[in-house]
Amino acid sequence: RITVSAANGNVGVGKAPGTYKFDVQGSANATTALQIPTSGGITVTGNSTFGGSVTAAKSIVKTASNDTFTIETVNTGSALAAHTTLTNSDGNVYFKVGTENALTLGLNGGVDLYYNNELKFNTHVSGARVTSNLNLYSTDATASNGPDLILTRNSATPAASDDLGNIQFFGESSTSVSTQYGHIRSEISSPTQGATKGNMYIDALDTDGTLYTGIGISGKVAKLYYSDSERLATTSAGLDVTGTVT
């Protein structure tokens, strides 16, 4: 039965009119579409099942008593197949597939990416970090086109000795202290157009705790060092040696 309140015009279907404009006792069915104004929305206090696709202009939200929310899509053909969950319980947003973490968005804008429930990549205040191997792949069949790792310093006022990039090698010490064991670095030798020149260095840690330069390249000149002092350099005529040859 349908009952209309004479006092406020509220409609009750299968029940007396309540505080809502339209109140149904039991299940309701729409064969085409249920239109909700953009200024309104649908609030679901229990579980909901959608047999087809669902389009939401804003969001589909399930609110729990602790102010967390979850958006879920479930493939009923398998208990966890294509089961995607988005939760927010501490200000961060977590995406899961089944029971495994996939993506986390942090309050500070940080992003975490997972594989097999293990953190593989994340962004933080000083840049980004890969927690496992970083593999660069190229499927180009051209022999001269391989995968490239490009480090660029985009400076409006380039100058000699400007740092262009570093690859740092860290490991643990015997007392589990994070230690830098090696270093590959590049810098500008001359930024003058028509006479640009670069330097590269390979450094290694010695037992006194200092990173020393062992190999350097300055343009077409290769150099060998001892305790940061140049000992040998290539020249157009051969080799320049500083010190004693034994």
Integer Cα distance of 44 and 21 in angstroms: 16
- For the question of whether the overall pTM of this predicted structure is more than 0.85, the answer is no
Question: What would the pLDDT profile of 160-176 be if each residue is shown by its tens digit?
Answer: 999 999 999 999 999 99
What is residue 77's predicted lDDT score, i.e. its pLDDT?
47
Question: What percent of the chain is predicted at pLDDT more than 70?
Answer: 76
Radius of gyration of the chain (CA): 32
Higher pLDDT, 11 or 37: 11
Burial state string for 135-167 with b = 16 or more CB within 10 A and e = fewer than 16: eeeeeeeeeeeeeeeeeeeeeeeeeeeeebeee
More confident residue, 230 or 134: 230
Kindly tell me if the per-residue pLDDT of 188 is higher than 70.
Answer: yes
Q: pLDDT tens for residues 99-115?
A: 788 888 887 889 999 99
Predicted confidence (pLDDT) at residue 116 exceeds the cutoff of 70: yes
C-alpha to C-alpha distance for 6 and 188, rounded to whole angstroms: 85
Q: pLDDT, tens digit, for every residue of 118-142?
A: 999 999 888 999 988 888 888 888 8
Lowest mean pLDDT among 78-92, 156-170, 202-216: 78-92
Kind of pairing, strands 178-190 and 84-88? unpaired
Q: What's the pLDDT band for 39 if we cut at 50, 70, 90?
A: low
Query: Mean pLDDT over all residues of the chain?
Result: 83
Q: Report which of 89, 97, 128 is spatially closest to residue 114, judged by C-alpha positions.
A: 97
